[in-house]
Amino acid sequence: MSKVLIIGAGGVGGVVVHKCAANPEVFSEIVLASRRIEKCRQIQAQLSRPIEIDEVDADHTDQVVRLIEKHKPTLVINVALPYQDLVIMEACLQTGVHYMDTANYEHPDEAKFEYKEQWALHDRFKERGLLALLGSGFDPGVTNVFCAHAKKHHFDEIHTIDILDCNGGDHGKAFATNFNPEINIREITQPGRYWENGQWVEIPAMSEKMVWDYPEIGPRDSYVLYHEELESLSKNLAPAGLKRIRFFMTFGQEYLTHLRVLQNVGMTSIEPVMYEGREVIPLQFLKAMLPDPGSLAENYTGKTNIGCLFEGVKDGKTRKLYIYNVCDHAETYKEVKAQAVSYTTGVPAMVGAMMILTGKWSGKGVFNIEEFDPDPFMEQLMKQGLPYTESWL
């Protein structure tokens, strides 16, 4: 039994707390901290068991260090903003505590995300005898574990992987994002990229698509984006014969029309502009105007389908496999007061923490989630609310 410190009280953070609280045999003590203490209180009031709450500005290493020293957790679960990954990792190094997150580092002044700066901390974590687990959400996270599972159990060589992310839900809003608007819009407006034959191929944003028939949802337009798990998977699976890996996400035409208009008038820019004598970043202003993703949960209907489509060879025969999860927005709200996009990220964060705290996964240094044995993680997905299906095509 172990004490965990969860930093971040948004939609995902709320799910992580709920699911940790539901597994007291692993998570004996829970501390939730955020810049917004009122959000912590709201989550605390939803629970049937007591947790501690605290306040922290995770932009500042000294504050995170004081928080960790005060509560003395075994593990810090970072579900704050990706901008804060390096700050929280540094605080864990200074205090001798294990670390994990769900999304890789993003520089606040550049619409770019990569693992380079987190991977660079490997030797420091190793020297301190600490484990840092990167990307334990759904994508990245479960999708990476699906890849490790397919490699271990179903293929001698995996030649192509398409990661497919579909939200077939309806929140009733004209335009809204399912997680932090600033992070979401930065992600989808940058150029698309995928890995093929040992090199990166860059394409204009949203310029390539396919139609995929998602189980329990139906056919949807799916667009090529760059997503962070491509970076680690292309490195870790290349020795297994990988020739290409891509990431697709679904978008409706109404969403894309709104996005084009916002881009055309400059509202998605991260370059500051002067307004009434002060600098304003348009995207941050837009974020303030859009609905809080957490507010969408109560009336959300429909389902998500996220999975990995594999093509490869087993015993000399070509095989094609789709491994996926379907999650219902209304059902997740009943369970943890969150919509399915938050749920599919928060549950794997709890499961990743469980793997570390129970000793199923161990190591010294910085690791991506696909570098560990997928079997105990996959077993817990079935028990913790994210059952998966394997469909041979």
Least confident of 97-106, 176-185, 226-235: 176-185
Each residue's pLDDT tens digit, 244-272? 999 999 987 777 777 777 878 888 887 88
User: CATH: 3.40.640.10, 1.10.10.10, 3.40.50.720, 3.30.460.80. Which one for 2-134?
Assistant: 3.40.50.720
Query: Residue ranges of the domains in the chain?
Result: 2-134, 142-337
Longest dimension (CA), the chain: 68
Report how far apart, in Å, the C-alpha atoms of 348 and of each of 61, 62, 69, 147, 185 are.
26, 29, 26, 15, 23
In the predicted structure, residue 383 carries a pLDDT above the cut 90: yes
pTM comes to 0.93
pLDDT value, residue 260 = 78
Those residues whose C-beta lies under 8 Å from the C-beta of residue 99, and which sit 6 or more positions away, are 75, 76, 78, 88, 89, 92, 125, 130, 131, 132, 133
Instruction: Please give the CATH topology (third level) of the domain spanning 142-337.
Output: Dihydrodipicolinate Reductase; domain 2 (3.30.360)
β-pairing, 131-134 with 98-101?
parallel
Each residue's pLDDT tens digit, 315-374? 999 999 999 999 999 999 999 999 999 999 999 999 999 999 999 999 999 999 999 999
Average pLDDT over residues 38-47: 97
Each residue's pLDDT tens digit, 67-76? 999 999 999 9
Those residues whose C-beta lies under 8 Å from the C-beta of residue 201, and which sit 6 or more positions away, are 193, 194, 195
275-285 per-residue burial string, b: 16 or more CB within 10 A, e: under 16: eeeeeebbbee
Q: Which of 5, 100, 94, 144 is nearest to 356 (CA)?
A: 100
Q: Rounded to a whole number, what is the distance in angstroms from the first to the last CA of the chain? A: 42
